[in-house]
Amino acid sequence: MSPSTFQKNILCIGAGYVGGPTMAMIAAKCPQYKITVVDINPDRIAAWQTDHLPIYEPGLLEIVKQARGRNLFFSTEINRHIQEADIIFVSVNTPTKTFGEGAGKTADLQYWEKTARDILKASDSDKIIVEKSTLPVRTAAALERILHSNEKGIHFDIISNPEFLAEGTAVNDLLSPDRVLIGSRETEHGLKARQEIVDIYANWVPWERIITSNIWSSELSKLVANAFLAQRISSINSISALCEKTEASVSEVAYAIGQDSRIGSKFLNASVGFGGSCFKKDILNLVYIAESYGLFEVAEYWEQVVRMNEYQEHRFVRTMIAALFNTVSTKRLALFGFAFKADTGDTREAPAIYITRKLVEERAQVVISDPQAIANAKNDLADILSEVSFQQDPYLAAREAHAIAVLTEWNLYKTLDYRRIFQSMLKPAFIFDGRNILDRELLYKIGFNVYSIGRPPLTHFQD
Ligand code: NAD
Ligand code: UGA
C-alpha cells in the first residue's frame, strides 16, 4: 500500500513498554493503517529501528519486523506527526509525584499535560485523543478543558483505552487479550469516536472481548484491575508469614483455595513481594483519589495492600540476616535475579532494589546476577555501585558465597546444577528462595540450609 492510500494515520506519543508493543501489534494486524510512534528520547527511537529493541520482550522483534518500514514508523518529529494524525494514542509515563501536594501518592501528570499542550499547538484538524497511559479517574475532563481552550475551532474527542498487558507476556496479551476496554463520552460525537477505536481492535480481537463503557468507568477500571491483582499477592503473602510459623505450606494453601472456582488459581504465588512500575503507583493513585473525596476507610483499605508488600520485602531481608547468624557483614551473597519478574529486563520497583540496599547497609558483599536486567540494575544502584558487583554467570556469582537469594523466577534458575554450586560455596551454605521455584527437598539433601517463602526452613542445625 503506498503511503497516500493508508485509511488512517495513527500516532502514538511515547515509545516505551506500552507504546512500542501495542503499536507494533496494531501495525502488524492492520496494514491498512499508517502507525507512527514518536518519543522525546532519540535513543529509544533509534533502538526501535534496529534489531536491538529498547525493551526485552519475548516475541516482540518478530512482530515489529512484520510491519516496520511497511506501515510502522518511529520518529522524533513529534509536531509534524501530530499534525498529520487522525487518531493519537498517548502512552507517556505517569510516575508517582515526588513533590508538593499528593507527593508519594498521586500521579505526576506533567508529561501528560505537556503532551496535551503539544497536541493543541501542532493540530490544525479534528482528532481523536486516546488515553493509553494509566491515569487517575476524571483526567479526561482536565484534558478536554485544555484541548478545547483552542481558538482554532478544532474538535477533540477523548477516549480512554487503558492497557492491560503484562511485561514478559506482552505479545500474547496483545494478540489475544482477555478484553479490550474502550470508554468515551456518551454523546453522539463521543460514541462515533468510540466506534473508530473499536474498529481498530476488531481487526483481530473477537467482538465479545471488546468492552465499551462510559469514560470514567474505563479510567477507574484500570486502577481497580491492578489493585485487585496486587491485593491477591498481598493476601497470599500475608498468609505466607503465618505458614512459616505453623508448618502449613503456602503452596498447598494456595492450591486448596485456588480450586474454588469463585477464588480461581491465578496470582496466588507467594513471593518476596510484587514489583513493577505500576502496581504500587496505581494503588497509591486509588488511595489518593479516595482520600480526596473524603473516603478515608476506602483509602486505608487499599493502602494496606502496599504496606503488606513492603512488610514482605522487609521480612525477607530480616530472615536472611537472622539465618546468617545475625550478621552479613563482609559475607558474599549472590542474588539470582534482579528484574521485577521473569522474561523482562525491567527493574522498576523490583524487590531486589530494596533487598540489595538493605544488605549493603549491613555491609554484605552483594553479587548480582540476572540474564537481562544487569544494565538496569546498574542504573538503579548508581549511588552504591562501588559497593556491589555484577556477574552474569550464576555459577560464578555463587562461587565462595555464603548464601544465594532467588529474587526473580527465571526458568534458568530452576535448571542449574545446584550440586556443583553447593561445592563451590562456603559452608554452611544457605539458599533463600524468594519465588518458591526450587526443589527444596533436593537442595536440602545436597546440603543447603533452605529457606522458602511460606514454609518452615529446612536446616541441618540442631536447635
Ligand atoms: P515508559 O517510561 O517505558 O515509556 C514512556 C515513554 O514516554 C518514554 O519513552 C518517554 O521518553 C516518553 N515521553 C514522556 N513524555 C513525553 C512527551 N512529552 N512527548 C513524547 N514522549 C514522551 O512507560 P510505560 O511502561 O510504557 O508506561 C506508559 C503508561 O502505560 C503508564 O501510564 C503506565 O502506568 C501504563 N502501563 C504500563 C504497563 C507496563 O507494563 N509497563 C502496562 C499497562 C499500562
Ligand atoms: C501488571 C498487570 O498484570 C497488567 O495487567 C497491567 O497491565 C500492568 O501491571 C500495568 O498496568 O503495568 P506486570 O507488572 O507487567 O503487569 O506483571 P505481573 O505479572 O502482574 O507481575 C507483577 C508483580 O507481581 C511481579 O513482581 C510478579 O513477580 C509479582 N507476582 C505476580 C507475584 O509475586 N505473585 C503472583 O502470583 C503473580
Q: Give per-residue pLDDT as tens, 160-210.
A: 999 999 999 999 999 999 999 999 999 999 999 999 999 999 999 999 999
d(CA 344, CA 56): 6
**Is residue 70 classed exposed, middle or buried when 0-12, 13-18 and 19+ CB atoms within 10 A define those classes?**
middle
Which ligand 2 atom sits closest to the C-alpha of 17?
A: 12
Average pLDDT for residues 307-331, to the nearest whole number? 98
Average pLDDT, integer, range 38-43:
97
Q: Please determine, for residue 248, whether its predicted confidence score (pLDDT) is greater than 70.
A: yes
CA nearest 110: which of 120, 123, 122, 95?
A: 95
d(CA 324, CA 426): 12
- Owning domain of residue 53: 3-205
The total number of structural domains in the chain stands at 2
Cα 32 to Cα 336: distance, rounded to the nearest angstrom: 45
274 CA distance to ligand 2 middle (Å): 7
Beta strands in 39-109 (DSSP E): 72-75, 87-90
| Nearest C-alpha neighbor of 161 from the set 187, 123, 199 | 199
Phi, psi values for residue 18, rounded to 5°: -100, -50
In this predicted structure, what is the pLDDT of residue 4? Answer: 66
**For residues 374 and 406, is the Cβ–Cβ distance under 8 A?**
no
Q: Are residues 182 and 239 in the same domain?
A: no
| Averaged pLDDT score across all residues of the chain | 96
Query: Measured from the CB, is residue 134 less than 6 Å from ligand 1?
Result: yes
Query: Which of 12, 13, 18 to mutate to test ligand 1, by most ligand atoms within 8 A of the CB atom?
Result: 18
Mean pLDDT to the nearest integer, 57-70: 97
Cell of 10: 495513527
Maximum Cα interatomic distance, the chain, rounded to a whole number of Å: 81
Final residue belonging to a domain, choices 205, 234, 251: 205
Task: Write the pLDDT tens digit of every residue in 91-139.
Answer: 999 889 899 988 998 888 898 899 999 999 999 999 999 999 999 888 8
Q: Do 190 and 218 sit in the same domain of this protein? A: no
CATH number at residue 189: 3.40.50.720
Whether 225 and 179 map to the same domain: the answer is no
The predicted model gives 349-378 an average pLDDT of 98
Q: How confident is the model at residue 34 (pLDDT cuts 50, 70, 90)?
A: very high
Same domain, 295 and 425: yes
243 and 355 inside one domain: yes
The structure's pTM equals 0.96
Q: In this predicted structure, what is the pLDDT of residue 149?
A: 87
CA distance linking residue 341 with residue 338, whole number of Å = 8
pLDDT band of residue 1 (cuts 50, 70, 90) is: low
205, 222, 248 — which closes off a domain? 205
pLDDT at 229: 98
Band the pLDDT of 151: cuts 50, 70, 90.
confident
The residue assigned the cell 465479545 is 208
Distance separating alpha carbons of residues 44 and 14, to the nearest angstrom: 10
For residues 444 and 385, state if they share a domain.
yes
In a shared domain, residues 171 and 296: no
Do 194 and 224 lie in a common domain?
A: no
Kindly indicate the confidence band of residue 338, based on its pLDDT and cuts at 50, 70 and 90: very high
Say whether both 63 and 150 belong to one domain.
yes
Q: Which of 172, 205, 238 is a domain's end point?
A: 205
Higher pLDDT, 370 or 100: 370
Best mutation site among 131, 134, 226 for ligand 2, i.e. most ligand atoms within 8 A of its Cβ? 226
What pLDDT does residue 462 have? Answer: 81
Between the alpha carbon of residue 420 and those of residues 106, 333, 415, 442, the distances in Å are 48, 17, 12, 13
Q: Is 271 in the pocket of ligand 2 (CB under 6 A)?
A: yes
Confidence of residue 459 (pLDDT cuts 50, 70, 90): very high
Distance between alpha carbon 411 and the CA centroid of its chain, in Å?
19
Residues 311 and 271 occupy one common structural domain: yes
- pLDDT given at position 2: 52
Instruction: Look up 278 and say whether it is catalytic.
Output: yes
In this predicted structure, the answer to whether residue 3 has a pLDDT above a threshold of 90 is no
- Determine whether 105 is exposed, middle or buried from the number of CB atoms within 10 Å of its CB (0-12, 13-18, 19+): buried
Residue 303 φ then ψ, to 5°: -60, -30
Task: Note the pLDDT of residue 106.
Answer: 86
Judgement on whether residues 199 and 226 belong to the same structural domain of the protein: no
Ligand 2 atom closest to Cα of residue 278: 12
Same domain, 347 and 255: yes
Question: Is the distance from CB of 104 to CB of 284 less than 8 angstroms?
Answer: yes
Q: Give the mean pLDDT of 34-45.
A: 98
Given the CA of residue 435, which atom of ligand 2 is nearest to it? 33
